[in-house]
Copies of this chain bind each other. A is one copy, B any other.
């Protein structure tokens, strides 16, 4: 089931997704978007304060979003895009072979003034396979209701 505006309730929490990130994916993303030594060069990464290759924080963010779109919101959700993000914190490195899941929490639901639907604000916590929180995000999105007309804030 895909989610629409009326499906979000303040305080609702859930845990969704399991995605294992490979060394090849970490290297591929970083070569394209974040070619710093500790993301693209295994030997340099071993000499760095991280003690080995770690994923770009933007790769972790993109994987979190992938999990949310494909496994939380669903393929035909009422999502109408996002005005932005209020906070991202990278708390622990993500390393090759780590398996990520996302805890979702609905912080606020704000109906639009002039149209059906509105804005939903979320907190996301990304966990690894050891239950450690590697990243936290506070962000929001516009959603239309299941019966269809577009919303804005």
Contact = CB atoms under 8 A, between A and B. Distances in A.
A36 B90 contact: no
A69 interface: yes
A38 to B, nearest CB: 7
Contact of A58 (B38, B58, B70): B58
Copies in the complex: 2
Interface residues of A, number: 33
A58 B49 contact: no
Nearest to A32: B66
A38 B82 CA distance: 12
24 contacts: A32-B66, A33-B62, A33-B63, A33-B65, A34-B62, A34-B69, A35-B66, A36-B69, A36-B77, A36-B79, A38-B81, A49-B80, A50-B81, A58-B62, A58-B65, A62-B62, A82-B90, A83-B89, A84-B87, A84-B88, A85-B85, A86-B86, A86-B87, A87-B87
